[in-house]
């Protein structure tokens, strides 16, 4: 097992419009990318459970051209609305870092 933080080269989040946050995980080599994808650990359900949203509202897309995985989730509070904590959605990636991937 390895933690995603030790496998990824980039793990970041950002708004995709004011109502969604998109989280990107990128890898250094195709070998690592393939292993992570094949593990099947990362999917809509994982994003749903990490962020407390419905899996049907998650858009998950592996993107081999950039050796990247992308998950887009609805915001609980839209950018800048009362109670929002992150207008740019730039610090919502951390729960992914500790996800364990069988290698």
Which positions lie near another protein, rule CB under 8 A?
10, 14-20, 22, 24, 26, 50-52, 57, 59, 61, 63, 65-68, 70, 72, 74-83, 85-88, 91-92, 94-95
Min CB(70)–another protein separation in Å: 5
Q: How far is the CB of 98 from another protein (least distance, A)?
A: 9
Q: Structure tokens of 4?
A: 């995603």
Cα–chain center distance at 29: 18
CB of 61 to another protein, least distance (A): 6
User: Distance between CA atoms of 16 and 51, rounded to whole angstroms?
Assistant: 16
Q: For residue 24, which phi and psi values (nearest 5 degrees)?
A: -115, 135
Shortest distance (Å) from residue 90 CB to another protein? 9
- Of 43 and 79, which CB lies nearer to another protein in the complex structure? 79
- Choose between 94 and 103: whose C-beta lies nearer to another protein: 94
Residue 25 CB-density burial (10 A; 0-12 exposed, 13-18 middle, 19+ buried): buried
d(CA 11, CA 1): 18
Closer residue to another protein in complex, CB, 40/49: 49
């Amino acid at each position: 097992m390895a933690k995603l933080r030790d496998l990824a080269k980039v793990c970041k989040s950002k708004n995709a419009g004011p109502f969604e946050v998109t989280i990107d995980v990128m890898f250094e080599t195709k070998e690592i990318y393939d292993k992570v994808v094949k593990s099947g650990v990362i999917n809509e359900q994982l994003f749903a459970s990490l962020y407390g949203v419905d899996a049907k509202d998650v858009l998950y897309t592996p993107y081999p051209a950039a050796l990247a995985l992308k998950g887009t989730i609805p915001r609980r509070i839209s950018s800048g609305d009362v109670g929002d904590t992150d207008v740019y959605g730039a610090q919502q990636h951390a729960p992914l870092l500790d996800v364990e991937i069988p290698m």
